[in-house]
């Protein structure tokens, strides 16, 4: 592949060549003198931590933002891209991390949007049907053109995005974190499709933070750090460890070192928890689980299968509709709810999944965020006034111990990066020395360096005898941290495995509830 790549490069100009791209947002330099060359018909990975500037660079290539300076060449021609319409005209398509689809439209209407083929919809639709059928057959992108996009599973929506780009004649395709919302099986299917596209001459740029994906599918890889392009490698000539080091700028421990667990007594016991939401939908369906002191229990599953609701019920945010929950000796059910504040008194701490919305208040100073929920503690407040000096000093200590940067308690919470916000929230919850710690998506939007730190903190909590419940959509995280793994599907726990016996393939099948479907098919 690489030999072919270099020999054709003299005959064909590269699909994309970026030279000296600069872009800043206010005082932040998002891209600094970035160069990038992508040969025709290759899959090119771009890796980097959050905020490294990958998405900005691709948004510039797609015309969503304008570069402050720099040159974009497409197919050897200088090609100014002033907006997405210019990119589309140059044959560049993009599949965004958050799908750019209209839920109330059919698949066909979504594909047509922007390429309707005339002032009236009728004739264009007929022509589009035929073209879509051809694309589906060519690339294995089956999807019902008359289905409403809002009714489709995430994997299928992504196919609609791919079809949209191909329908508009894209031969250069940018994918931004395409596997974030997919099950491992869906991701594998996507990679087959991408490989098929490359073999037909489509050039693909893949932005991701998952190094195993880079190793599995790309031909070349470029690494970004702090807005700059720091390295270009042929994938075959590099390793995950090297890429991780290039991304962070120092050596990183990818696997978490931990000793065997020594579980103690059951501290939290859930028995048949169900939750019916305000719209009358059953979100949790008879969930039973035990949490023991000194173990980490991981909850795996595709987003939206009841994990968020489970955290809400266990932390007291919502009472269960049915079933019982015991925390130490306190029994909680629908008629005896337990407010989050009381849960805290029971020594249960909660690091919520969505820290921006539930873990902190963006406009509050860091010292205020650092005591949220514990603000009635006599250490922080007198009868009327907060003890500001004491709180700021306390926050200083937390920032020091949890390596929160910049270590300034007066800055507003939203001026910290994702990783530093998360460390601040973790510091707040962990330093109370809870018996039970509920953690949702601890490393979502957090860079590799901080991930390592957060993982170490969770393991240390386990060693200190805390019972940790870890909810994460990152399967690797679940596999490397947990002692036991529970898999959720449609509000139910569909499987439990000891971490020692688990692998990604097996958990992935459980996440899609594939074994049950297969059984049903066999029986039916």
Partner 1 sequence: MGEDFLLIILTFDATIRVSVPLILAALAGLIVERSGVIDIGLEGKMLASAFAAAATAYTTNSAWLGLGAGVVASVLLALLHGFACITHRGNQIVSGVAINILVSGLTVLLGVSWFSLGGQTPPLTGDARFNSLTFPGAEAVRDVPVLGPIYSELLSGHNILVYLAFLTVPMVWWLIYRTRFGLRLRATGENPAAVDTAGISVIRMRYLALILCGILCGIAGSYFSTGHGAGFLREMTAGKGFIALAAMIFGKWRPVPVLFACLLFGFLDAIAIRLQGVEIPIIGEMPVQFIQALPYILTVVLLAGFIGRAIAPKASGIPYVKEH
Chain positions 138 to 197 lying near partner 1, rule: CB under 8 A, are: 164
Number of residues that bind partner 1 (CB under 8 A): 36
The span of 36-44, 90-98, 196-204, 428-436 binding partner 1 (CB under 8 A) equals 90-98
Identify which of 457, 432, 411 has the alpha carbon closest to the alpha carbon of residue 343: 432
- φ, ψ for residue 366, nearest 5 deg: -55, -40
CB of 119 to partner 1, least distance (A): 5
| Member of 68, 85, 341, 518 binding partner 1 (CB under 8 A) | 85
Identify which of 118, 195, 107, 199 has the alpha carbon closest to the alpha carbon of residue 148: 107
Contact 406, 365 (CB under 8 A): no
H/E segment holding residue 174: strand 172-176
Q: Does 363 bind partner 1 (CB under 8 A)?
A: no
Identify which of 332, 270, 294 has the alpha carbon closest to the alpha carbon of residue 468: 294
Other CB atoms within 10 A of residue 343 CB: 23
Closer Cβ to partner 1, 108 or 494, answer by number: 108
The span of 78-86, 133-141, 265-273, 289-297 binding partner 1 (CB under 8 A) equals 78-86
| Member of 109, 177, 394, 477 binding partner 1 (CB under 8 A) | 109
Q: Does 65 bind partner 1 (CB under 8 A)?
A: yes
The span of 81-89, 223-231, 236-244, 389-397 binding partner 1 (CB under 8 A) equals 81-89
| Member of 84, 286, 340, 397 binding partner 1 (CB under 8 A) | 84
The span of 66-74, 96-104, 128-136, 444-452 binding partner 1 (CB under 8 A) equals 96-104
Q: Does 119 bind partner 1 (CB under 8 A)?
A: yes
The span of 82-90, 337-345, 436-444, 483-491 binding partner 1 (CB under 8 A) equals 82-90
CB of 175 to partner 1, least distance (A): 14
Q: How are strands ordered across the β-sheet holding 436-440?
A: 348-351, 436-440, 467-471, 296-300, 484-489, 492-498
CA–CA separation, 132 and 115 (whole Å): 13
Q: Does 201 bind partner 1 (CB under 8 A)?
A: no
| Member of 76, 83, 169, 264 binding partner 1 (CB under 8 A) | 83
CB of 189 to partner 1, least distance (A): 24
Closer Cβ to partner 1, 435 or 447, answer by number: 447
- Distances from the Cα of 355 to the Cαs of 140, 203, 206, in angstroms? 39, 37, 27
Which residues are within 8 A (CB) of 514 and not within 5 positions of it... i.e. 6 or more apart? 185
Closer Cβ to partner 1, 112 or 268, answer by number: 112
CB of 304 to partner 1, least distance (A): 18
- φ, ψ for residue 103, nearest 5 deg: -60, -35
| Member of 40, 62, 307, 489 binding partner 1 (CB under 8 A) | 62
- Is the C-alpha dihedral spanning 379, 382, 383, 386 positive or negative? negative
Give the 3-state secondary structure of residue 524.
Answer: coil
Closer Cβ to partner 1, 62 or 367, answer by number: 62
CA–CA separation, 56 and 71 (whole Å): 15
Q: Is 294 left (phi over 0), alpha (psi -120 to 50) or beta?
A: left
The span of 56-64, 171-179, 364-372, 419-427 binding partner 1 (CB under 8 A) equals 56-64
Give the 3-state secondary structure of residue 310.
Answer: helix
Q: How are strands ordered across the β-sheet holding 69-74?
A: 28-38, 16-25, 69-74, 77-78
| Member of 94, 273, 299, 467 binding partner 1 (CB under 8 A) | 94
Closer Cβ to partner 1, 70 or 117, answer by number: 117
Give the 3-state secondary structure of residue 161.
Answer: helix
CB of 168 to partner 1, least distance (A): 8
Quote the tokens at residue 40: 């025709």
CB of 255 to partner 1, least distance (A): 34
Q: Does 56 bind partner 1 (CB under 8 A)?
A: yes
CA–CA separation, 278 and 308 (whole Å): 15
| Member of 3, 10, 11, 25 binding partner 1 (CB under 8 A) | 25
Q: Does 131 bind partner 1 (CB under 8 A)?
A: no
CA–CA separation, 439 and 478 (whole Å): 12
Q: Does 96 bind partner 1 (CB under 8 A)?
A: yes
Q: Does 280 bind partner 1 (CB under 8 A)?
A: no
Please state the separation of Cα 256 from the chain's center in Å. Answer: 20
Identify which of 259, 268, 309 has the alpha carbon closest to the alpha carbon of residue 466: 268
| Binding footprint of partner 1 on the chain (CB under 8 A) | 25, 30, 56, 59, 62, 64-65, 83-88, 94, 96, 98, 100-105, 109-110, 112-116, 118-122, 124, 164
């Amino acid at each position: 592949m690489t030999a072919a790549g270099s020999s054709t490069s003299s005959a064909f100009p590269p699909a994309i060549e970026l030279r000296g791209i600069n872009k800043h947002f206010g005082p932040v330099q998002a891209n600094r003198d970035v160069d990038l060359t992508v040969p025709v018909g290759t899959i090119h990975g771009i890796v980097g931590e959050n905020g490294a500037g990958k998405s900005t660079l691709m948004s510039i290539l797609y015309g969503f933002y304008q570069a402050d300076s720099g040159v974009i060449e497409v197919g050897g021609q200088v090609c100014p891209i002033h907006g997405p319409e210019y990119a589309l005209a140059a044959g560049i398509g993009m599949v965004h991390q958050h799908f750019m689809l209209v839920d109330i439209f059919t698949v066909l209407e979504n594909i047509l949007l922007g390429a309707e083929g005339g002032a009236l919809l009728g004739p264009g639709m007929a022509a589009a049907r035929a073209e879509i059928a051809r694309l589906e057959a060519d690339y294995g992108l089956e999807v019902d053109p008359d289905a409403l996009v809002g009714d489709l599973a995430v994997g299928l929506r992504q196919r609609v995005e791919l079809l949209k780009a191909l329908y508009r004649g894209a031969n250069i395709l940018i994918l931004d974190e395409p596997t974030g919302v997919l099950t491992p099986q869906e991701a594998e299917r996507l990679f087959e499709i991408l490989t098929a596209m490359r073999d037909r001459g489509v050039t693909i740029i893949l932005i991701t933070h998952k190094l195993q994906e880079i190793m599995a599918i790309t031909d070349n890889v470029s690494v970004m750090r702090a807005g700059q392009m720091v390295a270009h490698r042929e994938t075959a000539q590099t390793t995950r460890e090297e890429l991780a080091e290039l991304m962070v700028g120092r050596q990183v421990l990818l696997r978490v070192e931990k000793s065997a667990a020594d579980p103690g007594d059951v501290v939290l016991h859930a028995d048949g928890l169900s939750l019916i939401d305000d719209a009358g939908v059953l979100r949790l369906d008879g969930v039973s689980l035990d949490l023991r002191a000194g173990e980490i229990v991981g909850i795996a599953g595709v987003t939206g299968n009841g994990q968020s609701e489970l955290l809400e019920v266990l932390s007291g945010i919502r009472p269960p509709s049915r079933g019982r929950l015991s925390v130490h000796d306190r029994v909680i059910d629908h008629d005896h709810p337990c407010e989050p504040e009381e849960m805290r008194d029971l020594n249960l701490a909660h690091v919520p999944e969505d820290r921006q919305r539930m873990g902190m208040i963006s406009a509050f100073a860091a010292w205020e965020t650092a005591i949220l929920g514990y603000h009635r503690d006599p250490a922080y407040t007198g009868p009327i006034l907060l003890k500001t000096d004491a709180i700021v000093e306390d926050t200083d200590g937390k920032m020091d111990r949890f390596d929160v940067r910049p270590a300034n308690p007066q800055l507003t919470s939203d001026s910290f990066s994702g990783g530093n916000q998360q460390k601040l929230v973790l510091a707040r919850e962990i330093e109370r020395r809870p018996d039970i710690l509920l953690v949702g998506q601890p490393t979502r939007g957090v860079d590799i360096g901080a991930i390592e730190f957060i993982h170490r903190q969770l393991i240390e909590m386990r060693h200190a005898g805390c019972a940790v419940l870890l909810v994460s959509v990152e399967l690797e995280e679940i596999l490397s941290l947990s002692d036991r793994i529970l898999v959720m599907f449609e509000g139910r726990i569909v499987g439990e495995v000891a971490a020692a016996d688990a692998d990604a393939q097996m958990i992935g099948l459980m996440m899609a509830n594939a074994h049950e479907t297969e059984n049903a098919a066999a029986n039916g």
